[in-house]
Amino acid sequence: MVEASQWQHRITGEWHGKPSLFDANGTWVGYEDIRRSSVFENGATTYYMDGALEAGGPLASRFRLGAPFAFGVVDSDQNRLYTGPDFYGAGQPYGAFVDAHYYGPGWQVDLNTWNHVLPDGDTQVYSSVLYQGWAVVGAFNGVYKRTTDHATNTATQDMVREFLAAETRNGPTPYILPTKKQYAYRGTCELWNADQKLIGEVRVSIGLDPVDLLRTRLDVTWAGAIDRRYRVEWRRDGTRSFYEGPDAWGNAQAFGRASYPVLHFADEWKMKGREFMIDAVPGMGAGRTLTVAYELFEGNVLSAVLHGVLIRDGD
């Protein structure tokens, strides 16, 4: 009998979310009210996605469809293959995080999707950056909650209703670091190698020292399975931001609560990542909980994946 993969076990159940849609410049344009499930049955896996786009601006006609998505999945903890008809491609799990690249004929975009199941097992941080060739068209991102009894349990239905209302408020909130007080985000992350094997734990600290309303000095330390410390000045320009040395250089694009940086260090290492302020709310500035996922490249070759949850101290 064929057994489901570890990743399949992580995502069993129904996931409820209201991810926001952003255009290529990071401008919020709408929501997608989504129910997702990945069903393993009789040795076969099928992924279902049902929802409706609210608003959407100029992108609405591209991302509104007349029927729910459904596509086959070759279940695996190495390469999960998406076999159509609604999506074609593959995804690679690294523990509780998966990096997927695929094409959606209905949306007519290439997608790079990052899903990160948090330690509670019932919260998932999601993003899909959408491409036309090499050019970014837009992005979806948001948070999902898992249920197993939504159809029959009124308490679960109430929880989902309240959660979706919070996501409606929080989804358009911009990614902004603290601007007038020193803070630090700290937590223990997992490090996985490119062969999808767990290397070990890494204690991550991101110290924030505001310079002014648009600039913050970052003092970042990784200790454990990988050791690195770097300092960099981060400068924000709307939804764009820039990392201006002295130890790393690069830039980032934010879509709502999530920032997507690419940093180049003084040696052969490069980092591509996502930093998602899961509980950032309008009018409150930086959130308390920062989920991070970083892909680390050595000489332009993927070497490791680092992911986890950081909590803000210094309040």
Encode pLDDT of 108-150 as tens digits: 999 999 999 999 999 999 999 999 999 999 999 999 999 999 9
In terms of residue numbers, what domain contains 220?
183-313
Contacts of residue 87, Cβ cutoff 8 Å, sequence gap at least 6: 47, 69, 71, 102, 103, 104, 111
HSE on the CB side for 281, CA within 13 Å?
7
CATH number at residue 215: 2.40.128.20
| Residue 282 binned pLDDT confidence (cut-offs 50, 70, 90) | low
* Position 31, amino acid: Y
Which 3 state secondary structure label does DSSP give 8?
helix
Confidence grade of residue 63 (pLDDT, cut at 50, 70, 90): confident
Averaged pLDDT, 19-40: 86
Pairing of strands 135-147, 183-193: unpaired
Q: Are residues 95 and 221 in the same domain?
A: no
Indicate whether 154 and 196 sit together in one domain: no
* 70 & 106 share domain: yes
Q: Is 25 part of a structural domain of the chain?
A: yes
Say whether both 214 and 301 belong to one domain. Answer: yes
Give a yes or no: residue 196 inside a domain: yes
- Other Cβ atoms within 10 Å of 285 Cβ, number: 16
259 and 148: one domain? no
Residue 149 and residue 188 in one domain: no
Taking the C-alpha atoms of residue 289 and residue 243, their distance in angstroms, rounded to an integer, is 22
Q: Which of 103-107, 127-131, 233-237 has the lowest mean pLDDT?
A: 103-107
- 3-state SS class at 115: strand
> What Rg do the C-alpha atoms of the chain give, in angstroms?
19
Residues 19 and 132 in one domain: yes
Examine the domain organization and report whether 120 and 190 are in the same domain: no
Same domain, 155 and 303: no
Q: Is the pLDDT of residue 50 over 80?
A: no
Percent of the chain with pLDDT over 90: 72
Tell me: the pLDDT tens digits for 180-233?
Answer: 889 999 999 999 999 999 999 999 999 999 999 999 999 999 999 999 999 999
pLDDT higher than threshold 80 for residue 88: yes
For the chain, the domain total comes to 2
